[in-house]
């Protein structure tokens, strides 16, 4: 996929109007705070139908404006073209969101799954390696829900069951009612874990492949970390037994204490747990490898080149890692790179300057 056309109106600080992008490398240069990340955010909206950084949708609307709108025109490898539109309207103190594909309204954000193959990589992605477990769970689920409708259904149902079961615990539900909730939790949770185990193994293979391609000086491994067994035939029984063993504590705390929502990814490089003991350089390199793995996995499963969005990585990563990232700027894939300073311009690249939200081609 590539983004050929971008149109915005009242989106954050971006000037209203239309921009054309090139099929290869697009360099977006400007001082900090001028709107570079806002542009990437606006493009990335269509992967999941939400911002990767806004807490509420109305944050996307320019101050004192009643609405904002973004539209992109895209071309795909099979020569079809599609238009994606996203609009937020202030309404009674809240935001009313509309998403369209080719003029038709998208009823659920889940219907976007796999329709807009884009990968965003920026300094915030270091949290996947060194942040809380929720960041690593989100990393897996963002990939799984893009490529597997079954993964999306299971993840959605599991989260709903956990929320409802927590409400039952807080309400001091009867033993029989909790037994029924346990059955639903085990059924959906066991399926969810099996899918996550399989996805983890696939992502590790992709990561090792990029590790070899980039001639990494470190040896990496990844493992899905859970208190429950990895064997699909044993998960359900073990899950049920664990729920029984923690029942009193769950009643006391009013939350579900066992299941994939409590799991993590073990990330090891040269025998060190990078979540706790890795050097900053190792963590940064692994963050690069994980994004490369995400990109190649999505491209293989969706059979479509991803649009790659690199947000200000030149100021965050050292020269050694940037030399590795440089490989991403080559080939047939469309790439957007933001930077506060001018960067080496490859043949065929397009340069766009950003000042106070105004984007101009150079």
pLDDT exceeds 80 at position 331: no
Residues 52 and 91 in one domain: yes
> What is the predicted pLDDT for the residue at 219?
86
What is the rounded distance in angstroms from the CA atom of residue 47 to the CA atom of residue 111?
10
134 in a structural domain: yes
Closest CA to 40 of 148, 136, 159, 124: 124
Choice between 342 and 228, residue whose per-residue pLDDT is larger: 228
Which residue range(s) make up the domain with 161? 129-303
Contact 106, 113 (CB under 8 A): no
Among 347, 311, 307, 330, which Cα is nearest to 3's? Answer: 307
For 138-181, the DSSP string reads HHHHHHHHHH-HHHHHHHHHHHHHHHHHHHHHHTT--HHHHHHH
Q: Are 288 and 172 in the same domain?
A: yes
CA distance 120 to 68: 22
Q: Would you say residue 83 lies in a domain? A: yes
- What mean pLDDT do residues 210-214 have? 83
Secondary structure class of 219 (helix, strand, coil): coil
What number is the average pLDDT over the span 326-333?
72
The number of beta carbons lying within 10 Å of the beta carbon of residue 337 is 23
- 135 in the same domain as 85: no
| 146 and 216 inside one domain | yes
Q: Is the pLDDT confidence value at 204 over 70?
A: yes
Res 206: pLDDT: 95
pTM of the model: 0.92
CATH code of the domain in which 180 resides: 1.20.1050.90
Q: What is the mean pLDDT of residues 118-140?
A: 93
Backbone angles phi, psi at 201, to 5 degrees: -60, -40
Residue 309 lies in a domain: yes
User: Could you tell me if residue 124 is inside a domain?
Assistant: no
In a domain, 326, yes or no: yes
Six-digit token pair at 72?
Answer: 């992109």
| One domain, residues 154 and 77 | no
User: Kind and range of the H or E element at 19?
Assistant: strand 17-20
Domain end marker among 268, 286, 303: 303
Whether residue 89 is found in the same domain as residue 156 = no
pLDDT at 15: 96
Instruction: Write the CATH number for 1.
Output: 3.40.50.300
Flag whether 95 is in a domain: yes
Collapsing DSSP to helix, strand or coil, 232 comes out as: helix
27 and 351 in contact (C-beta within 8 Å)? yes
Question: Are residues 262 and 158 in contact, defined by beta-carbon separation less than 8 angstroms?
Answer: no
Res 341: pLDDT: 78
Query: Are the C-beta atoms of 227 and 257 separated by less than 8 Å?
Result: no
pLDDT of residue 46: 97
Whether residues 105 and 194 share a domain: the answer is no
pLDDT at 343 over 70: no
Q: Please give the tally of structural domains in the chain.
A: 2
On whether both 148 and 282 belong to a single domain, the answer is: yes
Same-domain check for residues 227 and 342:
no
Whole-number average pLDDT of the chain: 92
- The b-or-e profile of 3-23 (16+ CB within 10 A means b, else e) is beebbbbbbbebbeeebebbe
The pLDDT score that the predictor gives to residue 313 is 78
Per-residue pLDDT at 1 exceeds 80: yes
Say how far apart CA 121 and CA 264 lie, in whole Å: 21
CB 40 within 8 A of CB 57: no
Q: Are 174 and 272 in a shared domain? A: yes
Across the beta sheet with 272-273, what order do the strands follow? 220-225, 264-269, 272-273
Residues 114 and 166: their CA atoms lie apart, in Å, by: 31
Same-domain status, 175 and 283: yes
More confident residue, 347 or 62: 62
Alpha helices in the chain (DSSP H): 36-48, 127-130, 133-147, 149-170, 175-213, 232-245, 247-253, 280-302, 319-325
- Report how far residue 357's alpha carbon sits from residue 19's, in angstroms, rounded to the nearest whole number: 12
> Are 143 and 287 in a shared domain?
yes
State how far the Cα of 4 lies from the Cα of 20, in Å rounded to an integer. 6
Mean pLDDT of 141-168: 96
**Residue 280 counted as domain residue:** yes
The answer to whether residue 163 is domain-embedded is: yes
pLDDT digits (tens, 9 = 90+) for 258-308: 999 999 999 998 888 988 888 887 888 888 889 999 999 999 999 999 999
Domain boundary among 303, 322, 341: 303
How many Cα atoms sit within 13 Å of 127 on the Cβ side? Answer: 12
Query: Which of 133, 86, 127, 121 lies closest to 106, judged by CA?
Result: 86
Please check the confidence at residue 68 and state whether its pLDDT lies above 70.
yes
CA–CA separation, 348 and 105 (whole Å)? 36
């Amino acid at each position: 996929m590539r983004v050929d056309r971008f149109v915005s109106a009242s989106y954050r600080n971006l000037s209203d109007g239309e921009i054309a992008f090139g099929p290869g490398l697009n360099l977006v240069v400007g001082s900090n705070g001028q709107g570079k990340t806002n542009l990437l955010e606006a493009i990335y909206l269509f992967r999941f139908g939400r911002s990767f950084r806004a807490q509420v949708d109305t944050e996307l609307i320019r101050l004192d404006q009643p609405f904002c709108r973004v539209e992109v025109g895209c071309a795909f490898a099979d020569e079809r073209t599609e238009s994606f539109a996203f609009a937020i309207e202030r309404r009674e103190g809240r935001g009313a969101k509309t998403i369209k594909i080719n003029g038709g309204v998208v009823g659920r954000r889940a219907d976007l799954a796999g329709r807009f193959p884009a990968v965003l990589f920026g300094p915030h992605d270091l949290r996947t390696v060194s942040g809380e477990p929720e960041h690593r769970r989100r990393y897996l689920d963002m990939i799984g829900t893009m490529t597997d409708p079954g993964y999306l259904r299971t993840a959605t149902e599991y989260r709903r069951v956990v929320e409802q079961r927590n409400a039952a615990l807080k309400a001091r539900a009867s033993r029989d009612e909790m037994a029924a909730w346990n059955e639903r939790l085990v059924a959906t949770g066991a399926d969810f874990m099996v899918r996550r185990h399989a996805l983890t193994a696939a992502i590790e293979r992709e990561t090792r492949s990029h590790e070899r391609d980039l001639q990494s000086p470190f040896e990496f491994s990844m493992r899905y970390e859970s208190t429950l067994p990895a064997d699909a035939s044993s998960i359900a029984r073990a899950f049920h037994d664990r729920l029984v063993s923690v029942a009193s504590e769950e009643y006391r705390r009013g939350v579900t204490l066992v299941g994939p929502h409590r799991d993590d990814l073990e990330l090891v490089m040269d025998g060190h747990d990078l979540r706790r003991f890795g050097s900053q350089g190792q963590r940064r390199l692994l963050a690069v490898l994980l994004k490369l793995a995400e990109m190649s996995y999505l491209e293989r499963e969706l059979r479509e080149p991803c649009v790659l969005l690199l947000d200000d990585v030149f100021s965050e990563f050292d020269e050694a890692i940037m030399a590795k990232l440089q490989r991403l700027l080559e080939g047939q894939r469309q790439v957007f790179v933001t930077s506060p300073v001018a960067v080496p311009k490859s043949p065929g690249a397009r340069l766009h300057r950003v000042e106070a939200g105004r984007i101009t081609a150079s």
